[in-house]
Structure 1
Amino acid sequence: MTVSFPLSRLTRRSAAVVSVLGLLAACDGPLDYDLRGQVGAFNTTNAAQNATTGRPDADDRGLITYPTYQVAVARRGDTVADIATRVGLPVDEIARFNGVQASDKMRPGEVLALPRRAPDQVISSGTANPGSVDIESLAGSAIDGAAATSPNPGSVTTTQLQPTPAKVAKPQVQDGPEPVRHKVARGETAYTVSRLYQVPVKALAEWNGLGSDFAIREGQYLLIPIKDQSAPATVTPAAATAVTVPGQGTDTPTPPSSTKPLPQETVAPAAAAQVVPQVDVPDPTRSSQAAMSYPVQGKIIRTYSQGKNDGIDIAAAAGTPVKAARSGTVAAITADSNKVPIIVIRHDAKLLTVYANVENIEVNKGDKVKRGQTIATLRGGDNAYVHFEVRDGFDSVDPLPYLK
C-alpha cells in the first residue's frame, strides 16, 4: 500500500507542532522565544543576530504612514467601525480588506491595514478643536439678539448646520526602511511567518498587537519587524595560518620508496538506493525494554525525515486507541489550522512526545498519564494514521531509536 501526503498538509502540521512547542516555551520558561541565556544545549547565535527595532508610534488618529501604505493602530475599546470613523474611510471597505466585521472588538495596539490612503480631512465628531469658534455660544448670542429685535418676540427660526470636514495634520511619513506587509494565508501561524522572515515571534506579536496565544487569521495583514542594523554581528575568526620564519625553510616530506609498492587503495561500492519498507509495529505484549512504546499498532507508512516529516506516521483502522508512549504529563491539547487535534505530553524537562491526527480525546491538559494509557483514537477517513513525534526541546529526533 502506498500512501501519499500533500506537502502543504505536512507543512501545516509541522508548523502547528512548532507553534504548540512555542506556546509551551512561553509558559514554562526554559524554552524561551529565542533561547538566549537559557539551556546550554541550544545554539541561539542566530537569534541574537535577528534582533529587531520597535514599532513606530502612531499619530493622533492612530495612523502609521509609510511611503506606499498606511496602517491604523487600535486604542482600548475600539471596534473596527471606531477606527474607520477616526481615519475617515468607509468601515465596510476596511473590514473587507482585513477579513473582519465592522463590530469586531480590537485589542489595544492591534493593527488594521488600510486599503488606501486616509483622507487629510475627516467629518468632525462634534468635539471642538483648539482655536475653533464656539458654535453653541455664538448661536446663543444670536438667538438673544433676535428675540429682542424680532417683530414677533418669542418666535425664532433656526437652520440646522451641517458638519464640515475638519482638516487634520498631514501624516508624517516614516523614515528608514519600509516594513514588509505580509498577508496571512490559510494554514499559516505566527511561528511560520516569523521563521519565513527570520524574525523573533515575540517581535512579530509586539509589532502587530497579537494576543498572548499569538493567534492570527486568514487574510490578516502583518507588519514584519525591521531588523536592528545596530545589532552586533558574530564574526567567526579565521583559522590560524602557519608562518615560516625567514631563513628557516620548511620541512621536506619524505619521498615514497622506490622499492616498496604503494598501499592498495580500497574503493567502497556505491550504496544502493534506500527503499523504505512498510514496517510492522511490534506486538505490545512482547517483553520490551524500549524507552517508549508504540502509540498504535499498525504499519509505519512514513518514516522520519528532519524538516520534511519530523516524526513517523503509523496507519491503522479508524477508531484504533492511541496510547501514551511513555509516562508523563499532558502539556497541551490544541489543533492545527485545519482543526485537526494535537496532543503534547511532557516526559521530563526537555523530552516531549506529540500525537496528531486524533479524535475522541480522553485526557485534559495537566493530567498525569501512564505508559500505554489510551489518550485518544485515530480519526476516521481513508488514511487513518497517527503522526507521532519525539522532541528534544525544540528539535525533532527520530522516534524509532526510542521504540526499539
Structure 2
Amino acid sequence: MTRTARLFPLFVSMIALGACSGGVDFDLRGKMGGRVDTSQAAIKATTARPAPDNRGVISYPSYQVAVAKRGDKLSDVANRLGLPAEDLARFNGIKVDDPLRQGELIALPRRVSEPSPATGAATTGPIRPAPTVDVATLAGNAIDRAAPTAPRTATGPTGIEPIRHQVARGETAFTIARLYNVSPRALAEWNGLDKAFNIREGQFLLIPPVDTTAPQIAEPAVSEPGDGTPTPTPPSASKPLPTVTPPAAASVAATTLPKADAKPAAPAKPVADIGQSKPAASSAQMVMPVSGSIIREYSRERNPGIDISATAGSPVKAAASGQVIAISTTTEGVKFILIRHPADLVSVYTHVDDVKVAKGDAVSKGQDIARVRSGEPAFLHFEVRQGMEPTDPMPYLR
C-alpha cells in the first residue's frame, strides 16, 4: 500500500472525531450527502464468530482459517498446524516472524485435518448451515411410534459460511464494511483487527454473516420530493385569460424603427488599457493550496489526491473557508491538517510544517495555514473528500 493509502484510516478517524460531539460513528455512512443513506446497514446484527478448536482452527466446507493466540508469531501458527511457515506467510502477505494479535485470523493455503473431539471440537468436520427441512412434517407420527433410544451426542456448531474477501490496494476496513453492508466494528471483531482498523493488502477477511434471527431495524421510508403534494389548479381553469389584441404593425414600426433623418451615434473612441480594468474573479470553488506544478495526478486506486511541487517553506493556503478539525502527525513523522467545509467536504494537507492554525480555528479561503515541509523533492499532498470518500480535487480548483 502507498504511504497515502496507509494514512487513510487515520484521516477517517480524525474526520469522525471532528464531526461528532457525542459518540464516534466510525461507519459514517449517514454522512455521505445526497439522497442515498445506508446508515441503517451499520446497525444490522451479525452472528458471533464460531469458537475454534484447541489448535485455533475454524473449518468451513470451502476453506479453513486459524485464530492466533496471545504472543503468537506466524511461525508458531505454522508449527502448530504442521504447515510450512513460508507458504503460510506468502499466502497471507506477511513475514514468518511477524507477531500476530490475539484473535487475528490467518487463512490456510490448504486444508489441515478437520476439527474433531480429539482437537477440542464437538464433532468432526467443517461448520455447515443448519438444516432447513422440517423433520417433523416429513416423519409424521413415526417419532411417536419409535422405541426409546439412547441419548445422542451433542451436534457440532452450525452456521453460514462467511464470504472470504481478499484486501485489494486502496481498500480500508470502512469501505469493505460498506461494500457488504456490515458494521466496521463487527468486521474488526470477526477478524481480530486492531483499534485503528488497520488492514494490509493481500489479507483475507471473513465477512460476518447477518443474523437472520435478530430483529432488524426497518429502513425509514424516504419520499420523493413533491410526493403527496396536490398539483395546484391553474387560474385559467375557472376563469379564462383576457383577450389581448396585438398592436398594429404600423404603430410598432413607428416606435421601434429610427427616423429617416436621424444620425447614427458615433462609436466610442478606443481607450488604451493602462491598468484601470481588472481581470474577472475566478469562479472556482477552491484555490490552489500552494503555487507549483502537479507532479502526481489523482488516482482513486493509487493516489487519492494530487501532489504539488513547491519550494520548501512555501506558504500553504486554505483551499476554501472552513474550520480546522484536526492537526496531527503520522507515525512516519508527516504532519497533516484537515479542514471541514460546507456540503460535507473535507480538504487534507500533508507534508506540511510550521502550522499557523489550531484545531477549531475558522479559516478563510486563501489564508496561510502552514509551510511546505522540506524533502527530496519538496511537495504538498492535497486531497478533497466528500464525507470520507476521496474525490478528484481538480473540478474544485478549476
TM range (shorter): 0.5 to 0.7
1:101 aligns with 2:95: yes
Aligned residue number for residue 145 of structure 2? none
Aligned residue number for residue 133 of structure 1? none
Aligned residue number for residue 219 of structure 2? 234
1:332 aligns with 2:328: yes
Aligned residue number for residue 70 of structure 2? 76
Give the Å deviation of 1:48. 1.7
Matches within 5 A, 1:263-274: none
Pairwise CA RMSD: 5.6
Question: In 2, distance between residues paired with 1:340 and 1:400?
Answer: 27
Aligned residue number for residue 173 of structure 1? 127
Question: In 2, distance between residues paired with 1:241 and 1:330?
Answer: 44
Aligned residue number for residue 197 of structure 2? 214
Matches within 5 A, 1:14-53: 19-24=9-14, 30=21, 31-34=24-27, 45-50=37-42, 51-53=44-46
1:85 aligns with 2:42: no
Question: In 2, distance between residues paired with 1:301 and 1:93?
Answer: 39
TM-score w.r.t. length of structure 2: 0.56
For structure 1, the residue ranges without an aligned partner over 5 or more in a row are: 1-7, 123-128, 131-164, 243-251, 262-290
**SS across alignment from 1:34:** coil
Aligned residues: 308
CA change 1:85–1:202 in 2 (3 A) is same
Equivalent position amino acid for 1:19 in 2:
P
Equivalent position amino acid for 2:105 in 1:
V
CA change 1:89–1:295 in 2 (3 A) is same
Matches within 5 A, 1:85-234: 85-120=79-114, 170-175=124-129, 176-229=159-212, 230-234=215-219
How far does the alpha carbon of each residue in 1:205-259 deviate from its partner, in whole angstroms, 9 at most, with x for none? Answer: 22211112222222211112223444233152775598xxxxxxxxx95597796
1:343 aligns with 2:336: yes
Aligned residue number for residue 125 of structure 1? none
1:323 aligns with 2:316: yes
Give the Å deviation of 1:113. 0.4
Q: Are the equivalent residues in 2 in contact too, given 1:184–1:220 (CA < 8 A)?
A: yes
Give the Å deviation of 1:314. 8.0
Question: In 2, distance between residues paired with 1:99 and 1:402?
Answer: 38
Aligned residue number for residue 276 of structure 1? none
**SS across alignment from 2:38:** helix
Q: Are the equivalent residues in 2 in contact too, given 1:35–1:42 (CA < 8 A)?
A: no
Give the Å deviation of 1:79. 1.9
How far does the alpha carbon of each residue in 1:15-39 deviate from its partner, in whole angstroms, 9 at most, with x for none? Answer: 6675333222566654511359x99
Question: In 2, distance between residues paired with 1:241 and 1:366?
Answer: 48
- Alignment partner of 1:374 out of 370, 373, 389: 370
Question: In 2, distance between residues paired with 1:398 and 1:188?
Answer: 17
Moved more, 93-102 or 190-199: 190-199
Question: In 1, distance between residues paired with 2:113 and 2:357?
Answer: 50
Question: In 2, distance between residues paired with 1:96 and 1:302?
Answer: 31
**SS across alignment from 1:64:** strand
For structure 2, the residue ranges without an aligned partner over 5 or more in a row are: 130-158, 231-235, 246-284
Moved more, 80-89 or 213-222: 80-89
Matches within 5 A, 1:280-295: 295=289
- Alignment partner of 2:50 out of 49, 57, 62: 57
Equivalent position amino acid for 1:47 in 2:
S
CA change 1:187–1:380 in 2 (3 A) is farther
**SS across alignment from 2:348:** strand
TM-score w.r.t. length of structure 1: 0.55
Question: In 2, distance between residues paired with 1:216 and 1:69?
Answer: 20
Give the Å deviation of 1:66. 1.8
Q: Are the equivalent residues in 2 in contact too, given 1:72–1:112 (CA < 8 A)?
A: yes
Question: In 1, distance between residues paired with 2:312 and 2:219?
Answer: 52
Question: In 2, distance between residues paired with 1:80 and 1:293?
Answer: 49
Give the Å deviation of 1:119. 1.4
**SS across alignment from 1:199:** coil
